[in-house]
Amino acid sequence: MRTVLIVIAALALLFFTFIAGMGCGLLMSGEYGFPTGDKVAVLKVEDVILDDQAYLESLSKIKEDKQVKAVVVRIDSPGGAVGPSQEIYSELRKLNKDMPVIASIGSVGASGGYYIACAARKIFANPGTITGSIGVVAEFASYEKLLEWAKVDVEVIKTGKYKDVGSPFREMTDEDREYMQGLMNNVYSQFKSAVAESRNLDMAEVDKIADGKIFTGEQAKQLKLIDETGTMNDAIDLAAKTAGIKGQPDIVYYPKKKSQFLELLQSKLDIPGITSMPSKYSFGLFYLVDIIN
């Protein structure tokens, strides 16, 4: 009898350990439910886009989940670095061939944020959403006069006359500006081509509105930059309908939220987050709108 009680107690302990482990796993990953039906994945693209790793990892997980039948890209971003914006756009375009991808723009989806939205089959935005800002920007500071005032000399050894273009230690020459303008024009052309192709617009139509201006969602619809004014729920409903999901789909969000414990730990350890601008991004071309100084 005692042996039986010990076995029952051991099994009970294993069961509760398993349940506790599952609970801790969900807490650490930010998951709080067990979706069992067809899913619509919501990929949240937020803040200034400086790094695409979290988004690309999320898209890989979405592809692996056979229950995910459609994706809604929820954008709240003024844009960011050209490379990451283009890479997210490209991966979403690939995914769009396998399942419906619908974009929903919240408060702002401009420049690189709008570039990403163009990967979707349909784009929703609120009437007062800020979007557009089709263009490229690069900003350079010159400390040359400050260094002269401080009587500090800086020597630069380089292998070619353009190797230190954008250096803060000297003013740009006319040749430097011409060279940089050529780079920007090329990236600008890529942006316009993506808009023209995805929105089924003539390049002449795009040229008229691709001067860096921002638009409200209502204006953007008139300009054919978006398809409908509506909410994220409207986008989810369309995504589910397009995917043929019957009834209410399960909604899963990416990138996965950190638990409050992990966020507290990150703050205590002073780990830089996505909103900080690491030094490796101090130089580059940006699809970025400066709405609030």
Q: Are 133 and 213 in contact (CB under 8 A)?
A: yes
In three-state secondary structure terms, 124 is: strand
DSSP state of 39: E
CATH of the domain at 54: 3.90.226.10
- The verdict on whether 111 is a catalytic residue reads yes
Is 260's pLDDT higher than 60?
no
Q: How many domains does the chain have?
A: 1
Query: What tokens were used for 47?
Result: 């803040």
DSSP state of 74: E
Query: Band of the pLDDT at 1, cuts 50, 70, 90?
Result: low
> Residue range 211-228: average pLDDT?
96
Q: In 3D, which of 59, 36, 102 has the Cα closest to residue 248?
A: 36
Is 197's pLDDT higher than 80?
yes
> Residue range 59-81: average pLDDT?
96
- The verdict on whether 193 is a catalytic residue reads no
Please report the beta strands in 30-166, taking only residues with DSSP state E, as ranges in sequence order.
39-46, 68-77, 79-81, 101-110, 122-125, 130-132
**pLDDT value at residue 147:** 84
Q: How far is CA 35 from CA 28, 31, 250, 279, in A?
A: 17, 10, 6, 40
Is 249's pLDDT higher than 50?
yes
Domain-embedded: residue 84: yes
Comparing 290 with 24, the larger pLDDT belongs to 290
Comparing 265 with 132, the larger pLDDT belongs to 132
Residues 87-125 have pLDDT tens digits of 999 999 999 999 999 999 999 999 999 999 999 999 999
Domain-embedded: residue 103: yes
Active-site annotation holder among 94, 158, 161, 163? 163
Domain-embedded: residue 153: no
Query: Band of the pLDDT at 140, cuts 50, 70, 90?
Result: confident
In three-state secondary structure terms, 274 is: coil
Domain-embedded: residue 9: no
**pLDDT value at residue 16:** 53
Comparing 12 with 145, the larger pLDDT belongs to 145
Which of 11-25, 38-52, 143-157 has the largest mean confidence? 38-52
Domain-embedded: residue 148: no
**pLDDT value at residue 7:** 46
Is 250's pLDDT higher than 60?
yes
Give the structural domain span for 213. Answer: 38-137+199-288
Per-chain mean pLDDT for the chain: 84
Is 258's pLDDT higher than 70?
no
Domain-embedded: residue 284: yes
Active-site annotation holder among 58, 77, 111, 133? 111
How many CB atoms are located within 10 Å of the residue 25 CB?
Answer: 10
Helix, strand, coil content of the chain in percent (nearest 5): 45, 20, 35
**pLDDT value at residue 28:** 44
Domain-embedded: residue 146: no
Domain-embedded: residue 277: yes
